[in-house]
């Protein structure tokens, strides 16, 4: 999945966790992007089976979408924690670097990092 689509999925997940109905305008505001960009991204997420949305209706994550968003957030947290705890980066720097790195790692690398991290706990 492309980094941009992952950001959309994370944003939808984050907004829905606060109990609010997620609308495309909310996603656009949260990401600072225009309506056509939001429309294209939502269309792709819908075609991939990550979200459901009726025309002009609220956006709902599918089971697949929720799992993917949770995986993305889990990987982000693990990488950020590694940067803070192991190498001593500030939380701000760790977050910024985690966003860059998590999108270039293969699924195999991500799964190995998760396995390694969960064994330590």
Per the model's pLDDT, the better-predicted residue between 37 and 112 turns out to be: 37
**pLDDT per position as a tens digit, 50-89:** 999 988 789 999 999 999 999 888 888 988 998 998 899 9
Going by pLDDT thresholds of 50, 70 and 90, the confidence category of residue 92 is: very high
pLDDT in tens, 2-39: 888 999 999 999 999 877 789 999 999 999 999 999 99
d(CA 96, CA 103): 12
How far is it, in rounded angstroms, from Cα 94 to Cα 111? 20
What pTM was computed for the model? 0.82
Band (pLDDT 50/70/90 cuts) for residue 120 is low
What pLDDT score was predicted for residue 121? 62
Q: Which domains does the chain have, with CATH numbers?
A: 3-66 (1.10.10.10), 69-120 (1.10.60)
DSSP-assigned beta bridge partners for residue 42: none
């Amino acid at each position: 999945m492309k980094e941009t689509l992952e950001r959309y999925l994370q944003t939808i997940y984050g907004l829905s966790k606060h109990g609010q109905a997620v609308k495309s305008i909310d996603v656009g505001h949260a990401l600072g992007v225009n309506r056509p960009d939001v429309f294209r991204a939502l269309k792709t997420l819908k075609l991939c089976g990550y979200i459901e949305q009726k025309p002009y209706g609220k956006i709902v994550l599918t089971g697949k979408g929720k799992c993917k968003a949770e995986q993305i957030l889990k990987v982000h947290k693990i990488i950020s924690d590694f940067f803070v705890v192991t190498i001593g980066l500030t939380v701000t720097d760790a977050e910024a670097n985690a966003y860059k790195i998590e999108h270039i790692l293969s699924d195999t690398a991500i799964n190995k990092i998760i396995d390694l991290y969960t064994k330590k706990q």
